[in-house]
Structure formats: structure tokens, C-alpha cells
Amino acid sequence: MSMLKHYRLFFNVRPVLHCNYLSQTADDKKDRIGGYAKAFEKFEQNIRKPSNQQEKMTFSALLRNSKFIDLGDPEGKIAQGKIFHVVEDDLYIDFGWKFHCVCPRPKKQAEKYIRGAKVKILIKDLELSSRFLGYKKDLTLLEADCHLIGLIESKHQDKHQSSN
């Protein structure tokens, strides 16, 4: 008898009281599933049912229909950038492409061109590279060639306006 009690405690065996025992235990298990198990089951169901639209689209079709390609050639276009570094009179501007650009600080309102300021730039070339004497390959400067048009928003302006 004591062996049966140990067996019941160890394996969580309940005595069968009526014939619906199997269906009740399955329902009990569903009720006892925790949050992680429910999330995992939901995740598995999403993996098993891939959407038909994603299966049909190839990489080339996705790229061709992307917003990135819709932009066209960025050279000669005006973009918005953010000054992320200032060295003396050089402004390092990030405008969201592969490389940043370096523009000289303008003489007029130079104090407003600080780190964090938003500026308007004209994109000339996305990558400055050229072939130097003695080299067979182009050497890149890891910079874009842009022209600074003007200031959009500066943190310097916000500080002056809030103090007045």
C-alpha cells in the first residue's frame, strides 16, 4: 500500500472515478498551460502558416517595390541631416546614408551650428573616392560630398527662447 502512495505522489496518478477521466485531464492540461507555453504555441502556429503573399514575392521583386528604390538617384537632391560631431570649423553631418559628410561651418550664425542641430544639405556624391598615383584601385575617404544649405533647427535657439 505504501508503495502505491509513493507511486501516486511521484507520478501524480489519480484514481479513476468515472469514465470521463481522460477528457478531463486533457482539459486540465489546457487550463494549466502557463503564459510562456501559450506564447510558444502561438508562435509555432504563426511559423506553420506562412502568408501566401510573402511566399510569392522574390527578393528582386521586394527590392524593386521598396521605398528605398523609389527614392531614385540621391545625387543632386536636398536632404536633412543632423550634426553629430564638430571639430573646429568642420561639421560632421549624418544624413542616413552609408557615409556621413563633412561641411565647413558657415561664418554667418556660426554659433548655432552645434552638435544635435538639424541642417539642410545638397548631396553631390555619396562616396568620395579617387584613384591616386601608383594605385590600381580607387581609394575611398569614407565620406560623402555634400554642400551645407542652411540650418533647420538648433538646440541653441531652443535655449534662448526658453530663457526669455
Q: Which pLDDT score is estimated for 46?
A: 73
Q: Which pLDDT score is estimated for 44?
A: 81
CATH number at residue 134: 2.40.50
Residue 76 — φ and ψ, nearest 5°?
90, 5
Q: Which pLDDT score is estimated for 137?
A: 78
Q: Which pLDDT score is estimated for 135?
A: 73
Q: Is residue 157 part of a domain?
A: yes
How much of the chain is helix, strand and coil, in % rounded to 5? Answer: 40, 25, 35
Total-model pTM: 0.54
Q: Is residue 65 part of a domain?
A: no
Q: Is residue 116 part of a domain?
A: yes
The gap from C-alpha 10 to its chain's centroid, in whole angstroms, comes to 50
The b/e string for 3-34 (b: 16+ C-beta within 10 A; e otherwise) is eeeeeeeeeeeeeeeeeeeeeeeeeeeeeeee
Q: Which pLDDT score is estimated for 13?
A: 52
Segment-wise mean pLDDT, segments of 10 residues, the chain, 164 residues = 53 52 54 76 73 71 84 86 93 90 91 93 86 73 90 69 50
Q: Is residue 84 part of a domain?
A: yes
Q: Is residue 50 part of a domain?
A: no
